[in-house]
Structure 1
């Protein structure tokens, strides 16, 4: 990549991170290009879709969450590992306002730029769930896709100002429903 193209790419990512933090994942791409002081065509040359831009922004975070899941698989009690990872994943989606809807769409769309990252994230959670199930710590009738749906539901709830105060309590209710042999 030419030096000027690399500079534009980095500037677009930095600006997109700021704008998405301020306005959420539905922020105007035109606004991102304007604030990055590049043309809209330059943005689309680097990121042909909103999902491609989101994927570039979120890839390192998705990789970190997957690595955290692998780390938790070999440490501590399986139920505690699952709860810890769920908390981190929900916190991540809350920090990246509006990202849950594109993630949920992408996981079902193999053509989406976010698809592979979302599938990897779901697989990481499914692996922790399977470990907890094998240890007898999680209900056996739940799968990784359903766990990902629960994460999405709880993350969406945190994004709603009128419901956010109940999010922590509902997280506890959900984890109590997922985990078995757990003292309340």
Structure 2
């Protein structure tokens, strides 16, 4: 009897975990897209749950903001490890920076829609900055060691440059513009032994693989 009861009690927890993950994924997509649907109600609606379910998992707007942001950072850190183990270090760096732009889009959308309390996420930002800087440092170090990029730029320089591209004056399609600028910037970091043509060929190859 006890065994049956324990089994029954585990099912709602599994459903609850699935709902939480669905809300986080949906919130990322909704806030990245922006617009009138970028709200707590819009997230719940897009996730196919009631607003009460959202508040059970994330009792405040700040709780949702921190959970989505932390998840984005975790995924970027994991992505850096994955990319470092495959292909060209230069293209690994480029692909990671493209993903980083996506995270900035999510953060900008959340700041606009949720307006978390001033200073309430400072500790989260500080920890995330350390982790992301470490990730980009590892990717850059591999590219330098491979002779693909110059070694006189720091991870902090790279982060500041990319964030600056993302926070340039707002315009429709800013993410595409930021990706293009990042590509130009990364190509400008090539060592004299690395030709832009080889990078274009590598990007085309990566694109074909992703489509397959």
Query: TM-score, with normalisation over the residues of structure 1?
Result: 0.64
Partner of 1:180: 191
Does structure 1 residue 70 correspond to structure 2 residue 81?
yes
* Aligned equivalents of 1:86, 1:169: Cα separation in 2: 11
Which of 55, 64, 71 is residue 53 of structure 1 equivalent to?
64
* Aligned equivalents of 1:19, 1:168: Cα separation in 2: 20
Partner of 2:100: 89
CA contact (8 A) 2:92 2:139 kept: yes
Partner of 2:161: 150
* Aligned equivalents of 2:180, 2:34: Cα separation in 1: 27
Partner of 1:20: 31
Gaps of 5+ in 2: 1-11, 113-119, 197-212
Partner of 1:124: 135
Deviation per CA, 1:5-59: give whole Å up to 9, x if none: x79x9498688557634647xx777x78x989779xx96x956673x53220132
* Aligned equivalents of 2:102, 2:24: Cα separation in 1: 21
CA contact (8 A) 1:100 1:155 kept: no
Taking structure 1 as reference, are residues 74 and 13 closer, same or farther at Cα in structure 2, changes over 3 Å only?
A: closer
Residues 152-167 of structure 1 aligned to structure 2 (within 5 Å): 152-157=163-168, 160-161=171-172, 166-167=177-178
User: How far is 1:152 from its partner?
Assistant: 1.1
User: How far is 1:85 from its partner?
Assistant: 1.3
CA contact (8 A) 1:100 1:152 kept: no
User: How far is 1:127 from its partner?
Assistant: 0.9
Give the number of aligned pairs. 174
CA contact (8 A) 1:136 1:180 kept: yes
Partner of 2:151: 140
CA RMSD between the two structures? 4.4
* Aligned equivalents of 1:18, 1:73: Cα separation in 2: 26
Partner of 1:106: none
CA contact (8 A) 2:32 2:109 kept: no
